[in-house]
Structure 1
Amino acid sequence: MNVVTLRLGGEMMALPAECLREILEPVPVTRVPQAGPFAPGLINVRGAVVPLADLRVALGMQPEPATEDTRMLVLDVPLASGTGTVAILADKVLDVTEMDMSKLDAIPGVGVRWPPEFLLGIGKWHGEFVALPDLEKIFMSGAAQGAAATALEEGN
């Protein structure tokens, strides 16, 4: 599978390249009143309203300040009502590469910092561990409920 590799909270992550629409430099975020920390705002992507989510929240990671490497990845993700468009933050986008999904390791029962239900598996890339978040489970979980989920649905 082709994946896009990125850094998030100091960790290496990989997302399916097929769900990637585009990579943006940070743009202004419109805060949504009473939205939770997972998807606190909306961005304008070529005239379309797109919710901005922070995977760090779902994965239990600490927030980090933006740097010159910070990017917004616009993705098509599965939602309860079908596929929707959402943007996520990345501390740095690294590469688009091929990853052999049959060589993914199962999520260990101990020693993992992230909720195991939100990961597809752990792989290796250039000698470093790479976590593959399960975008469908993350966006259909409680992390995306409430005002943030409404913003996701209305943005599409």
Structure 2
Amino acid sequence: MAETAQYVTLGVAEDLFAAPVERVQEILDMRPIARLPQAPANLLGMIDVRGQGVPVIDLRLTLGLEQIADTETTRIVVLTVTGRDGALTLGLKADRVFEVTVLDDPRLDPPPAISGTWNGECIAGIGRRNGAFVTVLDLDRLLGALAIERAA
């Protein structure tokens, strides 16, 4: 029998998101971030993770939400994404991190097919955890463009 996929569940505003656990290297408490001049708004800057400079992306801003002040539950999820030129380690700032878990059903529903400019391609699928919707992020599509911009 195949292993059931595990996810790290993240909270942003009132919404629940998930990232595949195999992409997550570690979860850090909030720490000072060195700002980068003229960086896009969602690129907060850099942190040091065991001697490696890691860019930090604000998931709220990336998802089009308002920036808020950090709280005691704010976390940086250090993970790996794949861009055009290969793997890139990024920090993803989330309002909170809940748990490593499996979803109620291992099958994910596709993002809703709605006409217009929104295509949902940064969503790997929609699952449920304890009956609540969980949006599973396609990290490569959501964040992989940063690897492309960085390499340019």
Q: Taking structure 2 as the reference length, what is the TM-score of the superposition?
A: 0.85
- Quote the residue 2:78 is aligned against: 74
SS in structure 2 of the partner of residue 85 of structure 1: strand
Query: CA 1:126/1:100 → structure 2, altered by over 3 Å: closer, same or farther?
Result: closer
The superposition leaves residues 99-147 of structure 1 with CA deviations (integer Å, 9 ceiling, x where unpaired) of 377521121235xxx8612111111001111001111011234xx389x
- Quote the residue 2:11 is aligned against: 7
1:125-144 equivalences under 5 Å are 125-141=129-145, 144=146
Q: Is there any run of 5+ residues in structure 2 with no aligned partner, and where?
A: none
Q: Contact between 1:55 and 1:89, CA under 8 Å: does it hold in 2?
A: yes
1:28-39 equivalences under 5 Å are 28-39=32-43
1:49 aligns with 2:53: yes
The superposition leaves residues 36-63 of structure 1 with CA deviations (integer Å, 9 ceiling, x where unpaired) of 0121301111111000011222322222
Q: Of 84, 94, 98, which aligns to 1:94?
A: 98
- Quote the residue 1:63 is aligned against: 67
The superposition leaves residues 75-110 of structure 1 with CA deviations (integer Å, 9 ceiling, x where unpaired) of 011122111110001111111012377521121235
Query: CA 1:23/1:145 → structure 2, altered by over 3 Å: closer, same or farther?
Result: closer
Runs of 4+ with >6 A deviation: none
- Tell me the number of residue pairs that the alignment of Structure 1 and Structure 2 aligns: 144
Q: Is there any run of 5+ residues in structure 1 with no aligned partner, and where?
A: none
SS in structure 2 of the partner of residue 140 of structure 1: helix
Task: Please give the root-mean-square deviation of Cα atoms over the aligned residues, in Å.
Answer: 2.0
**Separation (CA, whole Å) in 1 of partners of 2:61 and 2:16:** 16
SS in structure 2 of the partner of residue 120 of structure 1: strand
Task: Compare the two structures and name the one with the higher helix fraction.
Answer: 1
Q: Contact between 1:9 and 1:62, CA under 8 Å: does it hold in 2?
A: no
Using CA pairs under 8 Å that are at least 6 residues apart, name the structure with larger relative contact order, 1 or 2: 1
Q: Of 36, 40, 46, which aligns to 2:44?
A: 40
SS in structure 1 of the partner of residue 77 of structure 2: strand
